[in-house]
């Protein structure tokens, strides 16, 4: 159980991490002149408040090694997805077997599922198109491809990044 002290510390930690990240983002966009930094402090403080309002702090932690591995996997899969589309688009016979596949996701609807659908929308051959009782509905370029097992692998890879405490 999380007491109020623990909750306070969670919010405090999330606020500091987000403020630092947003301020870093600001310096990339605006530069590091004195005036830029002064405005940046105000803007990132405001953005942190909005961020905590829209996405409240939770005591979850992220595993940086798993995140780096996921990022590499994402880059590799992006190349595969791009090549796959290019191959189909340039093929005179237009090899498509489009259709819908329902994926019984293990994650409940919520933030993690949104991250999962965003992630898989950039994977080869799959495009999330809403949900039904069974799970997430995917539109596929080739319904004969092993879409469900591919998605299950992605779900495991993504869930490794978040550690619940």
d(CA 126, CA 81): 9
Residues with Cβ within 8 Å of residue 159, at least 6 apart in sequence: 107, 112
C-alpha distances (whole Å) from 46 to each of 51, 66, 164 are: 9, 31, 28
Tell me what percent of the chain is helix, strand and coil, each rounded to the nearest 5.
Answer: 60, 15, 25
Q: Whole-angstrom Cα distance, residue 85 to residue 128?
A: 16
Q: Which residue has the tokens 């990132």?
A: 44
Instruction: Give the interface segment with other proteins, choosing from 40-48, 51-59, 115-123, 157-165 (CB under 8 A).
Output: 115-123
Residues in the chain: 165
Query: Which residues in 36-75 contact other proteins (CB under 8 A)?
Result: none
By the rule CB under 8 A, 127 interacts with other proteins: yes
Between 6 and 104, name the residue whose CB sits nearer to other proteins: 104
Closer to other proteins at the Cβ: 143 or 162?
A: 143
Instruction: Quote the least distance from Cβ 136 to other proteins, whole Å.
Output: 10
State yes or no: residue 125 binds other proteins (CB under 8 A).
yes
Question: x/- string (CB under 8 A) for other proteins, residues 73-102?
Answer: -----xx-xx-xxx-xxx---x-x-x-x--
3-state secondary structure of 89: helix
By three-state DSSP, how is residue 61 classified?
A: strand
Nearer to other proteins by Cβ, of 11 and 81: the residue is 81
Backbone angles phi, psi at 12, to 5 degrees: -60, -45
Q: Which stretch binds other proteins (CB under 8 A): 7-15, 45-53, 113-121, 145-153?
A: 113-121
Contact residues for other proteins, defined by CB under 8 A = 25, 27-29, 31-32, 78-79, 81-82, 84-86, 88-90, 94, 96, 98, 100, 117-119, 121-122, 124-125, 127-130, 137, 139, 141
């Amino acid at each position: 159980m999380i007491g109020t002290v623990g909750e306070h510390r969670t919010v405090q930690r999330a606020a500091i991490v987000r403020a630092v990240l947003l301020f870093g983002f600001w310096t990339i966009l605006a530069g590091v002149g004195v005036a830029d930094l002064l405005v940046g402090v105000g803007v990132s403080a405001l953005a942190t408040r909005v961020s905590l309002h829209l996405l409240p702090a939770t005591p979850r932690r992220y595993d940086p090694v798993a995140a780096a591995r996921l990022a590499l996997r994402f880059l590799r899969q992006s190349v595969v997805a791009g090549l796959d589309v290019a191959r189909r688009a340039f093929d005179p016979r237009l090899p498509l077997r489009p259709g819908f596949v329902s994926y019984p996701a293990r994650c409940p609807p919520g933030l993690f599922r949104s991250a999962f659908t965003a992630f898989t929308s950039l994977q080869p051959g799959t495009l999330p198109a809403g949900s039904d009782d069974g799970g997430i509905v995917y539109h596929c370029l080739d319904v004969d491809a092993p879409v469900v097992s591919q998605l299950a692998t992605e779900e495991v890879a993504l869930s490794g990044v978040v550690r619940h405490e």
